[in-house]
Amino acid sequence: MNLTLKVWRQSGPKDPGHFETYQAKNVSPDTSFLEMLDFVNEDLQLAGKEPIVFEHDCREGICGCCGAVVNGRAHGPLDKTTLCQLHMRTFHDGETIVIEPWRSRAFPVLKDLMVDRSAFDKIIQAGGFIAVNTGGAPDANAIPISPLEAEKAMDAAACIGCGACVAACPNGSAMLFVSAKVSHLSLLPQGKVDGTRRVRMMVAKMDELGFGNCSNEAECEKACPKGIAISHISRLNRNFLWSFFSQRED
């Protein structure tokens, strides 16, 4: 396969950035998207040019480090697939592929396709944890939990924090990410202790960091590589409202 790449190049957060065009030649259909970028970077380095900067780690769809907007879609054209798990057989010979970083005020571009996603870490630090000792694994497993609730919690815990939801949202909202973290803790007995405080602190931090508001576009659910449902946003909203009623009762 021979492909034309239009890649966003930006030297830093204050640089306006621009697109540059590259040729990816003799690409195997079995090559992953990131491997294809590796080959392009090898050619750039041999030509004495600066390689394209992009973030990656596990390349197994687990860590959430990778991510770029490919032809207008976060993580590319396939549903429930991270960029590192996207293979070039998805594209066609001679195709032009436009590659951009996540676009969000809360995710400033560090360089080229790599953005600063530390805002997610700050949201987790604000309340994405439990403040009780659960003991060893046998003790935790001895706590009765409804299978249905456990499944809901595990579905929410599948979030890898890649930021695709923010990149896909017209408002740059982090509600799907925050709601997934709130759900996977609040649905389990160990997480209910801090439930009201957690949701207020995480939502407040999300707003402080400059993420937009949710307007129920559902683009986040479509872009999520782990299929996190927007029903978790409804749960977050309910918990958020209830936190103020329970505070008044206290």
Q: What is the pLDDT of residue 74?
A: 97
CATH number of the structural domain spanning residue 202:
1.10.1060.10
| Whether residues 153 and 213 fall in one domain | yes
What pTM does this model have? 0.92
Residue type, 93: D
Which residues are registered as beta bridge partners of 11?
Answer: none
| Whether residues 102 and 143 fall in one domain | no
d(CA 176, CA 163): 10
The boundaries of the domain holding residue 15 are 3-111
- Is a pLDDT exceeding 60 seen at residue 145? yes
| Whether residues 245 and 152 fall in one domain | yes
| Whether residues 241 and 126 fall in one domain | yes
| Residue that terminates a domain, selected from 111, 144, 179 | 111
State the CB neighbour count (10 A cutoff) for residue 191: 20
Q: What is the percentage of the chain residues whose pLDDT exceeds 90?
A: 83
| Whether residues 224 and 159 fall in one domain | yes
Q: Do 75 and 81 contact (CB within 8 A), yes or no?
A: yes
| Residue that terminates a domain, selected from 89, 111, 133 | 111
Per residue in 5-59, pLDDT (tens digit) is 999 999 999 999 999 999 999 999 999 999 999 999 999 999 999 999 999 999 9
| Whether residues 134 and 19 fall in one domain | no
- Is a pLDDT exceeding 60 seen at residue 248? no
Q: What is the pLDDT of residue 246?
A: 67
Q: Tell which phi-psi region holds residue 80, choosing left (phi > 0), alpha (psi between -120 and 50) or beta.
A: left
Closest CA to 180 of 205, 200, 196, 202: 202
Give the lowest-confidence range in 73-77, 126-130, 214-218, 240-244: 240-244
Per residue in 174-213, pLDDT (tens digit) is 999 999 999 999 998 888 888 889 999 999 999 999 999 9
Judged on CB neighbours under 10 Å (0-12, 13-18, 19+), 250 is: exposed
| Whether residues 169 and 190 fall in one domain | yes
Contacts of 103 (CB under 8 A, 6+ apart): 69, 167, 172
Q: What is the pLDDT of residue 249?
A: 45
d(CA 207, CA 145): 33
Q: How many domains does the chain have?
A: 2
d(CA 218, CA 168): 9
| Whether residues 141 and 75 fall in one domain | no
Per residue in 62-119, pLDDT (tens digit) is 999 999 999 999 999 999 999 999 999 999 999 999 999 999 999 999 999 999 999 9
CATH number of the structural domain spanning residue 19:
3.10.20.30
| Whether residues 189 and 230 fall in one domain | yes
- Is a pLDDT exceeding 90 seen at residue 142? no
- Is a pLDDT exceeding 80 seen at residue 137? no
Element (H or E) spanning 6, and its range?
strand 3-9
3-state secondary structure of 117: coil
